[in-house]
Chain A
Amino acid sequence: MVQPSRFQALQTEMEGHLFERHDELEGLLLAVLARQHLLLVGPKGAAKSMMIRMLAGAIDGAKYFERLMTRFTLPDELFGPVSISALKKDRFSRLTRGYLPEANFAFLDEIWKANSSILNSLLTLINERLFYNDGEVLQCPLETLMGASAELPQEEALSALYDRFLLRYQVKYIAEDGHLLEMMTDARGPDLKTRLTLDEIHDAREAVAAVELDRPLLESIAKIRRRLGAEGLNLSDRRYKESLTIVRAKAWLQARTYAVEDDLAVLANILWDDPSSEPMVRGFVLDIANPQEKRAREIADALQVALKNLQGLEEERDRTMAAVEFLSKLRTAKAELQGFRDRMQRRKAETSQIDFLLRETDRYEAQVKRDYLENG
């Protein structure tokens, strides 16, 4: 039986190539493990395509299909060209080899640029994994469809397809200057040493399906649903039901055979519809699932603001004084994060996010001392 460590190793290696993409990369693996579809939304040049290609390139034995969508994209480009020989026999049949109906993993870039007719023709394929070809029903091997876009659907007619993307991530530009510099000087290619096979993914999926969810956990989800409903955010029953597959995948990825409340944090990437509601959803979800992670994220965001303020100062004296203040705040923040980590370790919860943030605080501290205090 395949071990979660195989998938964790892949995530770690991908995170080594891409800065500030922990959540999105985890989301891609969860989508694969849960056989769900994922949408990345964010500005151009934020590594959305790179993340998807990196993952797809690390899976051996899988057929991968990718297409850049435009408003001129034709069905032939997605589903295959019409067979001329069949047409001569008065049949309308597509040659699907090498196209979406035969792909295990697919990536549609700039997905919402395509017209609504072509996008809605995807519904059956990605939901039921069926494709109708000249009266024949083809069972499609599609595991995960990944979409990327710098915009959200402009037409109400596309809401059904939008709803099929269970996982949604808002991808932002790299926030921290140090990461940006490292990214710019990183000359490594996108090839990864860690490889997965399609068979391993199928094996893992069986284990994911067997992950136990207890009653209190389900009640916590109902509580989140009530709170979101009170704010006017009413999502489909299907979305809540399907979200359990992701919660199970998250638990399995943490090497557990049962889910815990911490695993519910991933719902923050499932239960928003409009990007403007994402912070509220994340807040409600983390209040219940993992208040310590919520606070840790607030601390991380605050440190980034403080560091950006410092980096924006021009006068040396200002920078020195601001650096002193920054280091004090950083030490306080670090103590709080260490307290969280100690408590999470005691209850055997996942600490990778806190560990990452603590490493970041160390890096900030070294950077600020080096750049603003030691040379003064």
Chain B
Amino acid sequence: MAAVFGPPGPTLSRSALVHDPFDREAFDEVLPRAPGLRLLLETSRDPGTQDLAFDLFCSFYKYFVKVLPADQVIEECRPHRDLLDRALGQVAELEGAERHPDQAVDLEPEMAEHVLHLPVLALAHREAEP
């Protein structure tokens, strides 16, 4: 019972990406429909496999993907961060060569109206059952 209450301290993330509980829910909803991935996660001896799988899921299916600063990621998951940082950097380079830098920003308000069609958001679109 000797708890002392103070301001919350900084917490380190196991995921290398900016994420929230909705992303976790979307991942948890995908798993029952992905037997291969489930088998991989169950048989892996590396405790970080689950974290990497989540990050990869987010990388492919989230609309906004951003790598966290290294000092916000738990040490054992920093290799995931480096991997994703490099991979996403390459994607950004490819995208940058194909479109005008301001193009995406101009389109965003309009995109907000259609965003429910994005894959991860559709996955997160739960039935309203408790």
Q: B-contacting residues of A (Cβ < 8 Å)?
A: 41-43, 150-154, 159, 162, 170, 173, 273-276, 291-292, 294-295, 298, 301-302, 305-306, 309, 313, 316-318, 320-325, 327-329, 331-333, 335-336, 338-340, 369, 373-374, 376
Contacts and interface: CB of A to CB of B under 8 A. Distances in A.
A295 B21 CA distance: 12
B124 interface: yes
5 contacts: A301-B21, A302-B20, A318-B64, A323-B108, A324-B111
B118 interface: yes
B116 A328 contact: yes
A313 B68 CA distance: 10
Nearest to A296: B130
Interface residues of B, number: 34
Nearest to A302: B21
Interface in B105-130: 105, 108-109, 111-112, 115-116, 118, 121, 124-126, 128-130
Main secondary structure of the interface of A (DSSP, over half): helix
A318 B4 contact: no
Contact of B108 (A153, A170, A324): A324
Contacts of B121: 325, 328-329, 332
A321 B5 contact: no
Contacts of A331: 116
A324 B129 CA distance: 25
Contacts of B116: 328, 331-332
Nearest to B25: A302
Contacts of B1: 152-154, 159, 162, 273-274
B7 A317 contact: no
Contacts of A173: 7-8
Contacts, number: 115
Contacts of A313: 18, 66
A324 B104 contact: no
Interface in B1-43: 1-8, 18-22, 25
A338 B6 CA distance: 35
A161 to B, nearest CB: 12
A328 B65 CA distance: 15
A298 B21 contact: yes
B3 A317 contact: no
B66 A302 contact: no
A327 B112 contact: yes
Contacts of A295: 130
A162 B3 CA distance: 13
A376 B115 CA distance: 17
B108 A340 contact: no
B18 A322 contact: yes
B115 A324 contact: yes
Contact of B124 (A332, A339, A373): A332
Nearest to B109: A373
Contacts of B108: 320-321, 323-324, 373, 376
B109 A305 contact: no
B72 to A, nearest CB: 10
Given A302-B21, A309-B20, A321-B63, A328 B128 contact: no
A159 B2 CA distance: 11
Given A313-B66, A321-B64, A332-B121, A150 B130 contact: no
Contact of A152 (B3, B18, B126, B129): B3
B106 to A, nearest CB: 8
B125 A325 contact: no
A321 B104 CA distance: 9
Contacts of B111: 324
